[in-house]
Amino acid sequence: MNDTASTYQERYAASLMNTFGPPKLVLAKGVGAHVWDADGKEYVDFLGGIAVNALGHAHPALVEAVTTQLQTLGHVSNFFTTAPQVELAEKLLDLLGVGAGGGKVFFTNSGTEANEAAFKLTRRTGRTHVVVAEGSFHGRTMGALALTSKEAYRAPFEPLPGDVTFVPFGDTDALAAAVTDRTAAILLEPIQGEAGVNVAPDGYLAAARATADAHGALLWLDEVQSGMGRTGRWFAHADVTPDIVTLAKGLGGGFPIGACLGIGAAGELLQPGNHGTTFGGNPVACAAGLAVIRTIEDDDLLEHVAVLGQRLRDGLGADPRVAEVRGEGLIIGLDLAGDTSADVVAAAQAAGFILNNPTPKRIRLVPPLVITGDDVDALLAAWPGILDEATR
């Protein structure tokens, strides 16, 4: 590592809170699905800012949209509105299939903020009980953390907002048994990302919808990681109409933005004075969101994601040292035969590929939606050697 990179590592340790541990790299530049560190070494980015950089790095459409909007009008507060805010809200409701008038949008700056807004929205039903799946991750703020199942995340900050029941993910009987007439909402991820990409079984979301309806509860789907084209569809849920959908990550393509969508009557639950945000829905963030959506549409990226995702899953799973491959489109999780995921990530980084290991056995890949076939083929060609190196 040269002086510049090592100096920044030292300055990081001296000036930033130790919430993430030492940085793996000091990154200096990115183009498409490629990034370069401060030493000038190039990597193919199969993490995408954790499913954030939908258009990769330095995409011209996103750069132009943000630059033009910032030069025109950067921030106005929510005492006012702007064309990008209204247009993005309308577009999200259209993509969800309900259209303007079929729901309402509250914009935030992140996924955890979108989930905080949704959590408060559920309280407006007059009920407090929420049923959530084990393996869930919904954020780190106090409300969202109360809905996140990992005990190690929650324990240091308890007591958290209570009346939350966790049930096994994918178990329709356990879900039905936990929901009662005092339940405000069922909260599920159609695909659990932080747990290592667990895909909801067929019929699970429909069963959740039926259970919610039977008890007058809301069905809330967290699509922060799985939404905005990542599965090869705009949203991971299919053939189910939820009451609430939360979005973030890929929505802004790297510019901070989140959204809480209330469908039908749920969109009317938050009223003036119930919630607020200073930066949420600002015109620059909304212009970024519109640019991401238009590019996905114009470049037919949903089909691209579906095709390359299948190629990647098939290729990675062909090695016998991979026990299982899960996912849809470009949200992919795989189980290794042993607890070697940290070694695999290190070996991949040395070989010029950025991967992620959410658990000791699991690898997660959530690359930019614009990743190329050549990038995918490069990883697949290197994959056996990466596994060899990791097991030495």
**289-298: per-residue pLDDT in tens?**
999 999 999 9
Q: Which residues pair with 362 in a beta bridge?
A: 335, 359
Is a pLDDT exceeding 60 seen at residue 62?
yes
Mean local confidence (pLDDT), 246-272: 98
CB 163 within 8 A of CB 123: no
Q: Which of 91, 169, 235, 249 is catalytic?
A: 249
| Cβ(74)–Cβ(283) below 8 Å | yes
CB 26 within 8 A of CB 16: no
List C-alpha distances in Å: 31 to 270, 271, 382: 40, 42, 21
* H or E segment and range at residue 29: strand 27-31
Domain ranges of the chain: 3-58+300-390, 73-298
Is 347 within 8 Å of 390 (Cβ atoms)? yes
Q: Is the pLDDT of residue 3 over 70?
A: no
**Residue 1: predicted pLDDT:** 45
Q: Are 357 and 341 in contact (CB under 8 A)?
A: yes
Which pLDDT does position 70 carry in this prediction?
98
For this structure, is 181 an active site residue? no
Can 222 be counted among the known catalytic residues? yes
How confident is the model over 271-278, as a mean pLDDT? 97
Instruction: Check residue 231 and give its pLDDT.
Output: 98
State the chain's mean pLDDT as an integer: 97
Q: What is the rounded CA–CA span in Å between residue 133 and residue 183?
A: 14
* 164 pLDDT tier (thresholds 50, 70, 90): very high
Catalytic position from the list 37, 45, 222, 335: 222
Q: What is the pLDDT of residue 170?
A: 98
CA distance 349 to 360: 17
CATH number of 73-298: 3.40.640.10
Q: What are phi and psi of 219, to 5 degrees?
A: -105, 115
pLDDT digits (tens, 9 = 90+) for 193-204: 999 999 999 999
Cβ neighbors of 341 (< 8 A, separation 6 or more) are 357, 359, 360, 361, 362, 363
In this prediction, residue 100 has a pLDDT band, given cuts at 50, 70 and 90, of confident
Name the 3-class secondary structure at 318. coil
Name the fold adopted by 3-58+300-390: Aspartate Aminotransferase, domain 1 (3.90.1150)
Rounded to 5°, angle at Cα 247 from 241 and 253: 135
User: Looking at residue 2, what is its pLDDT?
Assistant: 54
pLDDT digits (tens, 9 = 90+) for 20-56: 999 999 999 999 999 999 999 999 999 999 999 999 9
Active site residue 45: no
C-alpha atoms less than 13 angstroms from C-alpha of 111 in its C-beta half-sphere: 26
| Residue range 111-126: mean pLDDT, rounded | 98
Q: What are phi and psi of 184, to 5 degrees?
A: -80, -40
Q: How far is CA 319 from CA 323, 328, 386, in A?
A: 9, 19, 11
User: What's the rounded mean pLDDT across residues 299-309?
Assistant: 98
Catalytic residue from among 107, 119, 137, 166: 137
Q: What is the CA radius of gyration of the chain?
A: 21
CATH topology agreement for domains 3-58+300-390 and 73-298: no
Tokens read off for 122: 């559920």
